[in-house]
Every structure is written in structure tokens, then in C-alpha cells.
A and B are shown apart, each in its own frame.
Chain A
């Protein structure tokens, strides 16, 4: 059980962490598209179109708050699970304290 919880924690933390990095990367433009551009011309065209659309929208700031909210979601869930994980560990440690028997 404890192993599973630990694995779960790691998975969630990793996903949250990845999302908090991935979203800003998407927001800032075409970093992720560099490797795609190298792979094929078809993908290149699609990538450019998407990149232009995203850039245009970001220049206008139209979806800036939405993108920021996704970023906060990533960091936020990561942060909550991180703090919670530490509190769970603290609680397990605290349960080691036993009252003296009368």
C-alpha cells in the first residue's frame, strides 16, 4: 500500500511538474515545434500554421489569462500534493510518539 501511494505521488508530482513546464512552453511559442519541424515538411506546415495562430493570439493577449490559469493549475496541484506529502510524512513520524502507560 505504502509503495503504491509513493508511486502514485511520484506520478502525480511528475505530471504536475511537467504540465507546469509544458504550458508556459506552449504559451511562449514554438520551442516544442523545433523538433517537429525537423521531422517532415507536412508537419512543418501544420506546425507553422499553429505556431502563427498561437503567436497571434498571444500577441493580442487574448488567451493570456487562460494559459496562465493552466500554468497555475499545474503548479497549484503540484504544490498541494507536495505540501500534503510532507504533512503525511510528518503525521506518520508523529504517530511514533506514544503516551506512557499509566
Chain B
């Protein structure tokens, strides 16, 4: 009893950071359970945050071993991409390829955040500032894509990886809260009422099969740094579309994705040790993550508005916001906003097409940043 009492007093007096991390861990678990915010990831992360911040070492060593075996070498993000690839239907995008442009424009937030992070660091407003690789790792939160964020941050070996992962997944869960005000701010009522007809063109099986193969080759030739990411994503998609591996496709979509997510959550918690996580920089990283999501949304919406200046057949600018990836949450948000404005305006298929294009574009953005700074 005395031992427990002494230990408790010692923690409170000497390591208040640990207690703060327990509270943060509990908060993540609370968000996951109470508000259903990315529970598959936030719950294991929250528990992991408590686990690695206990005074007597033991579990952290195991997690560290798992971390170096699965995250440092990028294994888990890549495996997760197979599952994501198997989940994605590129049909809406293939039937209207120009939607891909919105995915590209909605990556603007990544670069804007990179600029702001670098500027904040250079202005010396806090501590030692950010290295350019740290700024790039933070900016990639704007990819709105967990595995890409982990992959890029891992490649750059940034010390902010814990905060980056927490921010990336938290904001993905907060897409329904973050995006609507930005969309409303940048569009008029009239623009939000624009109806878009959906006339599905049949996409042949050959097209669906060739698409992942050719995209992998093209991206591999132009942006080789991201070929592993895009390759695993497209491999998952090929399993889905080939029509001969239904059971594998189902396994990748459910079992593999769940298993990897489960491990990912608890393993990345290794980066949430009080000494690494409880810094002012962490708050700045989380703030910059929000900036990235806002500018991503703005980039997509403004690009759509820009296109409307020249086209007869107007595009509802709201669909541009789906280009931030965050699949399929962002597409649903836009669809719901469209229905709220006009119950007969069904934007889902358009926004899904933009959303999957954002998934590809965010991986390309990550690869390009790695190519430039790697």
C-alpha cells in the first residue's frame, strides 16, 4: 500500500506530463465512443497514449518494437492502402474524368500550410521553429488521408509525427464541422442551388482493370517517390475490379483494413510520450492542420467557381470541396448540403467522383513533396 502511495505521489510531483497524457488519452477514447469520431483509430490511440505514459516501463518497449517494425519502415500505411484501394469505386470518376481536376486543386491547402508553417518557424514566434521537412510533414495533414500523412511524416523522420497523426485523423472526423462554413463563405445561395445532371456512362470492365495498372505506371514514371503508395492503392483496386478475386477483395476491405487500423492506432501511440507530445509546437501543429483543411476546401470550391466563369454547363462549386480526400465523408457532406439547399439536387455521384480523385491527388501531392525534399 505504501509502495502504491509513494508511486502515486512521485508521479504527481515529478511527472505531471504523464497525467496530462492520461487525460488526453481518455479524451480521445471519449471522442471515439461518445461522438463516434474515427473510433477505429482514436480509441486505440487514446488507450496507447495512456499505455506509453505509465511510470513503469514494459508495454512501451513492446510498442517501440512494433513501431520500428511497422511504422518506421512504412509497412502499415502501405498495407492499409491495399484495403482502401479495394474499397474505392473509381467508376464515377472514370465516367467523368475531368472531375480529377478538382482533386488536384483541392491539394492547395497542403502547400499553403507548408508556407505558413515555414513562415511561422522563420519568424521565430516559438522555440527553434520548424525545419522545412517538419513543415512539409505538418502540411501533409492537408492530404486528409491518414496513411499518406504517416508515410510522408515517417519518411522525413519528423518529431511531430504523433501530433500530425492525431490532427490528421481528428480533422477527418471533423470534416462535417470544418467544411460547411468554408463552403458557405465562398459560395452564394444561387451557386449552391446549381443542379448537376448525372448521366452515368457505362464504364467497361477493361477500363476498370487497365486504370489501376496504367496509373501506377504513369505515376511511377513521373513521381517515383510515391509509387509505393499509389501502387498499393491501385493493387487493392485491381483486386476489386478484376472480378476473379472477390474473396481477397472482401478480405482486404474488411479484415486487412480493420487489422491494420487496429495495430496502427496503438502503435503510433508510441509517439505520444509526454516528453515528445506536450510541447507548444504540438498546439501549433494541430492549428496548422485545421488551416490545411480549410485551404484545401477553399482550393476546390474556388477552382469550381473559376471553371464556371468559362463554361455554359455550370458546376455546383460545392463539389470542389470533396477534392480533399477524406473518403467518403467529404462527398457525403457536400451531398447533404446540396439536399439542404434543394431537396431535388442530388450531388452524391459527382462529389464521390471528386472525392476519389482527391484520394489519388493527395497521394501524388505526398509523392511530389517527397521528391522535392527527399
- Residues of A near any B CB (own CB < 8 A): 1, 4-5, 7-8, 62-66, 68-70, 72-73, 75-77, 79-84, 86-88, 90-92, 94-95, 97-99
Contact = CB atoms under 8 A, between A and B. Distances in A.
B222 A97 contact: no
Interface in B128-183: 129-132, 135-136
A77 B219 CA distance: 15
A-side binding surface: helix, strand, loop or mixed? helix
A39 to B, nearest CB: 31
Interface stretch (B45-53, B203-211, B343-351): B203-211
B193 interface: no
Contact of A80 (B95, B97, B206, B364): B364
B213 to A, nearest CB: 10
B215 interface: yes
B214 A1 contact: no
B98 interface: yes
B78 interface: no
Contact of A76 (B93, B307, B369): B369
A17 to B, nearest CB: 14
Given A65-B122, A83-B219, 13 more contacts: A65-B131, A69-B118, A69-B132, A80-B368, A83-B223, A83-B364, A84-B364, A88-B98, A91-B211, A94-B210, A94-B214, A95-B203, A98-B206
Nearest to B208: A94
Contacts of B117: 69
Interface residues of B, number: 56
A95 B222 contact: no
B205 A99 contact: yes
Given A69-B114, A72-B369, A99-B205, A90 B101 contact: no
Contact of A92 (B97, B131, B223): B97
Interface of B: 93-95, 97-98, 100-101, 103-104, 107-108, 110-112, 114-115, 117-119, 121-122, 129-132, 135-136, 201-207, 210-211, 214-215, 218-219, 222-223, 306-307, 310-311, 313, 360-361, 364-365, 368-369, 371-373
A87 B118 contact: no
Given A73-B114, A84-B364, A94-B210, A79 B103 contact: no
B368 A75 contact: yes
Nearest to A68: B132
Contacts of A64: 122
Nearest to A62: B122
Given A68-B132, A69-B135, A72-B114, A90 B103 contact: no
A75 to B, nearest CB: 6
B319 to A, nearest CB: 16
A83 B225 CA distance: 13
26 contacts: A8-B306, A8-B307, A64-B122, A65-B118, A65-B129, A65-B132, A69-B117, A72-B114, A75-B372, A77-B111, A79-B371, A80-B104, A83-B223, A86-B218, A87-B97, A87-B360, A90-B214, A90-B215, A91-B94, A91-B100, A92-B97, A94-B206, A95-B204, A95-B207, A97-B210, A98-B204
A65 B121 contact: yes
B202 to A, nearest CB: 8
B97 A97 contact: no
Contacts of B93: 91
Nearest to A96: B207
A76 to B, nearest CB: 5
B104 A81 contact: yes
Q: Which 6 A-B pairs have the closest CB atoms?
A: A91-B97, A69-B118, A97-B206, A73-B111, A65-B118, A84-B104
A95 B206 CA distance: 9
